[in-house]
Amino acid sequence: MTEQASVQQDQVDQLIKLIADLVDTDPCWYDHHGYCQAHFWMATEPRCPHARAMEIPEVAATLEEED
């Protein structure tokens, strides 16, 4: 790995950890508009960021490690 790629990987690792700390692992709860009431997300596009964060494999793996 080049030095620049290594720095970028470190930044990605930091972001993954940050997202894992921010994400609420409680399940989303969508109302009839498709808005997430559990996380007060009033949009359908993009979907609730908590749902999207949990779909990132690295984030899910980080959360499992912390359990």
**Residues forming the site for Zn ion (CB under 5 A):** 28, 36, 38-39, 48, 50
Smallest gap from residue 62 Cβ to Zn ion (A)? 19
Nearest distance from residue 6's CB to Zn ion, in Å?
A: 34
Cβ 16 to Zn ion, closest distance in Å? Answer: 19
Output 38 or 63, the one with its CB closest to Zn ion.
38
Residue 23, judged by CB atoms within 10 A of its CB (0-12, 13-18, 19+), counts as: buried
